[in-house]
Amino acid sequence: MDEKVVYEKHPVTAERKAELRQKGYKIIDARFAPDDYEHPEPMAKVERPSKGLNVDQIKAALTAKGIDFDASANKPVLAELLDKADQE
């Protein structure tokens, strides 16, 4: 029986590994993929919760979620906090 191979950009999250392994794939780092490789299971594009929000809106969202943050932090730092909170 031939093993199905999927080339996935590393690091691969535990959830993604489980999803691909459940489908019978052996996971290999995407840097080893052949030039003509087409991924059979592309990842769904996930929108970041912070996308399109300004600093005040991100701060409000963090406050609503009960997440502590440095009030003087810049937008990228605040956005990362908000995006990570929604992944957990």
Query: Where in the chain does DSSP place strands (E)?
Result: 4-8, 25-29
Is 62 found in the same domain as 35? Answer: no
Is 39 found in the same domain as 2? Answer: yes
Lowest mean pLDDT, pick from 32-36, 38-42, 72-76, 84-88: 84-88
Is 37 found in the same domain as 1? Answer: yes
Range of the domain at 80: 55-87
Is 37 part of a structural domain of the chain? yes
Is 2 found in the same domain as 28? Answer: yes
- Say how many domains are in the chain: 2
Separation of alpha carbons 80 and 1, rounded Å: 44
Is 20 part of a structural domain of the chain? yes
The tens digit of pLDDT for each residue in 14-51 reads 888 998 999 999 999 999 999 999 888 777 666 788 98
Is 49 part of a structural domain of the chain? no
* 27 exposure class (CB count in 10 Å sphere: 0-12, 13-18, 19+): middle
